[in-house]
């Protein structure tokens, strides 16, 4: 079997089964494990999957720049944002993390809603500029240009002294075993402190991010209280989260 054929099969198996193991692929394809491991290594370098011990897991397609994701905003993200907005009640204090879905969420919040939004996402603050009853706390720090959020020790230290009713988490990758993960270490620290300092964590997850992993773990899956996703997300993808006791808003 040619390398291109092996790699297509590996991607197909990842999509259908959610994981691949090098030993099993070796037997299935009649190829030595060294060849499979080389395939996985090169595919990981191309951003096609995430290597883990003994095999690989799907990698989130969300690991692109903020501007690209904003240009590619899908109806699914708008649907998720509208559902999430209904969870924000008057008088709440809410963490809004990075991500284009949270920018959409900020823009669809009712303009007469008295709420306090704490965010390290400057685009969220801009989206709330005309919401007269929304108190906006924009956390400073170093601007991480790829995702357009502030990060660093100043950002984390500022959040340590804050508490919120909800953490609306823009999720890059969510996996029933690996939990929440993302490609940037410093941004993962910011999300960790938001989760730790919120009474509830709600993950805003489009279906292509479910069952995927990235380089840096933010939190275990047990930290997620609710997943908000599109109506069209297949039930087979969601059932593994329901069995963990996570509420699904679809």
Minimum mean pLDDT range among 3-7, 61-65, 129-133, 213-217: 61-65
Fold category of 66-249 in CATH? Rossmann fold (3.40.50)
Sorting pLDDT into bands at 50, 70 and 90, what band is 67? low
Q: Mean pLDDT across the chain, nearest whole number?
A: 91
Query: In the numeric block, which tokens belong to residue 170?
Result: 């823009």
Q: Which CATH class is domain 3-58?
A: mainly alpha
Give the residue-averaged pLDDT of 181-196.
Answer: 96
Q: How far apart are CA 117 and CA 138, in angstroms?
A: 8
Q: Going by C-beta distance under 8 Å and a sequence separation of 6 or more, which residues neighbour residue 175?
A: 57, 181, 211, 212, 213, 221
pLDDT score for 74: 66
Q: Is 10:20 a contact under the CB 8 Å cutoff?
A: yes
Give residue-wise pLDDT tens across range 201-233. 999 999 989 999 988 999 999 999 999 999 999
The pLDDT of residue 87 is: 98
Cβ neighbours of residue 193 closer than 8 Å, sequence gap 6 or more? 156, 159, 160
Confidence check: pLDDT of 1 > 60 = yes
CA distance 50 to 57: 5
pLDDT at residue 62 tops 80: no
pLDDT of amino acid 29: 86
Mean pLDDT, rounded, for 6-22: 85
Does position 173 have pLDDT exceeding 60, yes or no? yes
Can you give the pLDDT at residue 70? 53
Domain boundaries, the chain: 3-58, 66-249
pLDDT at residue 63, rounded to an integer? 57
Q: Is the pLDDT of residue 50 over 90?
A: no
- One fold for 3-58 and 66-249: no
More confidently predicted of 246 and 208: 246
Q: Worst-scoring range by mean pLDDT, 36-45, 58-67, 85-94, 160-169?
A: 58-67
Bridge partners for 215 per DSSP:
none
- pTM of the predicted structure, to 2 decimals: 0.78
**Whole-number Å distance between alpha carbons of 92 and 117:** 8
């Amino acid at each position: 079997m040619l390398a291109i054929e092996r790699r297509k099969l590996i991607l197909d198996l990842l999509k259908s089964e959610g994981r691949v193991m090098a030993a099993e692929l070796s037997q299935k394809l009649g190829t030595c494990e060294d060849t499979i491991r080389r395939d996985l290594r090169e595919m990981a370098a191309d951003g096609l999957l995430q290597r883990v011990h003994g095999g690989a897991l799907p990698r989130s397609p969300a690991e692109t720049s903020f501007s690209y994701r904003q240009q590619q905003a899908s109806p699914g993200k708008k649907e998720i944002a509208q559902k999430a907005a209904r969870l924000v009640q008057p008088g709440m204090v809410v963490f809004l993390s990075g991500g284009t879905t949270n920018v959409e969420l900020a823009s669809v919040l009712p303009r007469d809603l008295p709420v306090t939004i704490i965010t390290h996402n400057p685009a969220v603050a801009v989206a709330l500029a005309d919401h007269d009853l929304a108190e906006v706390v924009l956390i400073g720090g170093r601007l991480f240009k790829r995702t357009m959020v502030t990060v660093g020790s100043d950002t984390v230290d500022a959040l340590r002294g804050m508490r919120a009713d909800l953490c609306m988490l823009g999720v890059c990758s969510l996996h029933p075993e690996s939990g929440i993960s993302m490609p940037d270490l410093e941004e993962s620290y910011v999300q960790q402190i938001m989760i730790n300092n919120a009474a509830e964590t709600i993950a805003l997850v489009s279906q292509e991010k479910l069952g995927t992993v990235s380089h840096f773990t933010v939190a275990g899956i047990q930290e997620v209280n609710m997943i908000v996703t599109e109506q069209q997300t297949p039930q087979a993808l969601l059932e593994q989260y329901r069995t963990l006791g996570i509420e699904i808003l679809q």
